[in-house]
Structure 1
Amino acid sequence: MIRPRRPMPPPLKPPAPGLWRRTPPAIFPPILGLFGLGLGWRAAAQAFGVSPGFGDMILGAVAILFLFALVAWLAKPLRRPTVVLEELRVLPGRAGVAAASLCLMLLAASLVPFAPVLALGLALLAALAQATFIILLTYVMRTGPAEGRVVTPIFHLSFVGFILGGLVANALGHHEVAKWLLWAMLVPAGLIWGISARQLLARVPPAPLRPLLAIHLAPASLFAIVAQGAGLEGAAYAFTALAAAIFAALLVALRWLTASGFSPLWGAFTFPLAAFATALITVSQGVGPMAWAGGVLLAGATIAIPLIAFRILKMWASGPLAAKTNAAEA
């Protein structure tokens, strides 16, 4: 008796041909941190009276890296525009897409000393990109499941990110614009801080998501930097004190924050660290213990941020970053 032949299993779906069909937006948070590091060294050069060449060298290299990463990611929405909505349904995607537009704003800040007109144009383009991102994110949250509407530290990148425009405005001499951005962004930042504090008291976040708590440090640091640049010295010191309190809490809880081991979400540590070091240096104007604390922190960030960025970008180059962050495919 001849046994009936078993049907063969269906063939696995081969990946669609084409370059950069699944570029993960998780590559942008560490690049944002590298931009912050370069701007931190530029601030240190002004405060301590040393050559700005090192900071400009970092910013030039990061600008090239960012433009390459941006082209790689834009290949997805150029093929299928709705892929952006799919990116925004997961936390790494939301953080990455927001960080991409913020990187564009920091690119503008980097270019101010060399090409102020181009810097202004890029800043306006970054603001438009950020506004578009907020509209798309609001749509995704309203049409998606309820758990996708929970406030997370990533909301700072989404709704407070315009404060980076204050860096460009101050550098271009538009201090009134910087002041307006500062006071306007205080409202969403305060709401996010308050809601996040209540959530933290109500339940312990899962270990893999704890690195995102470091993002809370960034707005306070940026408020201090923008306030100092706009001539609001009292406000700058107040925001620096707030940032120092947040940094101290994060430092005490560092083992708890990193309990799950290294992951792509460690990109959340990079920019806040650079921003806090820059705030200490900028507000102190290179004088006193605050300045030296900022210098030491910047030196430590110069080691930590590139290492984190290298590990994340290496995961992109070798392949697993897209799967680990659930990146959408075009």
Structure 2
Amino acid sequence: MNASPPMPLTPGLAASAVPVAASIRHLPVNLFASVMGLSGLAIAWRLAHQAFAAPAFIGEAVGALAVAVFVLMAAGYLVKLARHPHAVSAEFQHPVGGNFFGTIAISLLLLSSLIEPYAASAAHALWTVGALGAFALAFIAVSRLLKGQLDAPLVMPAWLLSGVATLDIAVTGRDMPMAWAPEMTLVAGALGAMLAPVLFVMIVSRLVHREPLAPAVTPSLMMLVAPFEVGFLAYTNLVGGVDRFAAVLFYFGLFLFLVIAPKVFRPGIAFSPAWWGISFPMAALASAALKYAHHAGGAALQGLAMVLLAILSGALAVLFLRTVRLVASGQLFR
């Protein structure tokens, strides 16, 4: 799941075997997934407040943290772009790592929802930029796929980011007041509804017929949950409510989470920024569960939603603390 895997310096000698000086050039674009995860957590807590009277300050505090992390990440990556444009270009051109630029577009879309109650104009601008970025990345991703001759081992769960990004336009665009926004959300829903399932099938086929994912990228399996839970949120926004098809999306995403979680949360997988890839799919699952429980009612569904929210909160707290340790030790930049 790392955005720019180390390349051998000489035959038989891996780059990881050579001491590497700390540098901003090693800041991975996939760390923008931390903004996605924290923003998703904040939105989930807002839903919990609206549906079940959970404390409001939790969602707002996590939202402020998400904004702060985005500012720091954006500043750091802009410095990387200015000082090491070749490294950024290499990430963007990589058949796997290039998909992680979708985390920037998704972060902008989610942040627009967080800041809208406080700064509506800024939120509308962020959403517009995020939506245009998501469309552009979807176009680039499909264009690359249609070139052909792509090696099967490069088919990775990270590919789903281009489809999920367009679905997030529909998730976050419901309240956008611009005259053209409703049509843009319909276009985004159409792209996501077609693109995400195609990519999902390709990835599952690779997982079934090829060698298992390496331990370092195993956490990215959680991304398989995202098309269904983000799809639930996008669909319910587009049609204006929860229906049986929405329930099918939610329950299948929940089933995938139960299947994938034991494969991801097991000993022996070292921590890296790649672990943030679990955060947004889990946040989408928690938000979908809260929204569905509020619609369907019942103590079992409400309890399930709160359990998923608690698991998400605990997982992101661990990820955040581990990432702070990486930053403080300088390991993140090596």
TM-score per shorter chain, which class? 0.7 to 0.9
Q: Does 1:300 align with 2:304?
A: no
Q: Distance in 2 between matches of 1:176 and 1:232?
A: 18
Say if 1:33 and 1:305, in contact at 8 Å, map to a contact too: yes
Q: Does 1:275 align with 2:275?
A: no
The number of residue pairs the alignment matches comes to 309
In structure 2, list runs of 5 or more residues that go unmatched. 1-17
Residues 167 and 113 of structure 1: is their aligned pair in 2 closer, same or farther, counting only changes over 3 Å? farther
Q: Distance in 2 between matches of 1:254 and 1:93?
A: 20
Q: Deviations over 1:65-96 (max 9, x none)?
A: 21111111111223454432211355784354
Q: Deviations over 1:153-197 (max 9, x none)?
A: 111112331211112212337666545433331111111111112
5 Å-filtered alignment, 1:219-238, equals: 219-230=227-238, 231-234=240-243, 235-238=245-248
RMSD: 3.1
5 Å-filtered alignment, 1:130-209, equals: 130-134=134-138, 146-147=150-151, 150-172=154-176, 177-203=184-210, 204-209=212-217
5 Å-filtered alignment, 1:33-52, equals: 33-52=37-56
The alpha-carbon deviation at position 215 of structure 1 amounts to 0.6
Q: Distance in 2 between matches of 1:13 and 1:216?
A: 35
The alpha-carbon deviation at position 51 of structure 1 amounts to 4.4
Q: Does 1:284 align with 2:288?
A: no
Q: Which is higher, the Rg of structure 1 or of structure 2? A: 1
Say if 2:99 and 2:141, in contact at 8 Å, map to a contact too: no
Q: Deviations over 1:267-302 (max 9, x none)?
A: 111111111011000122263222221111101211
Q: Deviations over 1:241-269 (max 9, x none)?
A: 2211211211343456x643333321111
Q: Distance in 2 between matches of 1:135 and 1:71?
A: 26
TM-score normalized with structure 2 length: 0.80
SS across alignment from 1:97: helix
Q: Which residue of 1 aligns with 2:261?
A: 251
Say if 2:226 and 2:284, in contact at 8 Å, map to a contact too: yes
Asked which structure has the greater RCO (Cα within 8 Å, sep 6+), the reply is 1
SS across alignment from 1:160: helix
Q: Distance in 1 between matches of 2:311 and 2:20?
A: 44
TM-score normalized with structure 1 length: 0.81
In structure 1, list runs of 5 or more residues that go unmatched. 1-11, 324-330
The alpha-carbon deviation at position 22 of structure 1 amounts to 3.7
Paired-residue identity, %: 23
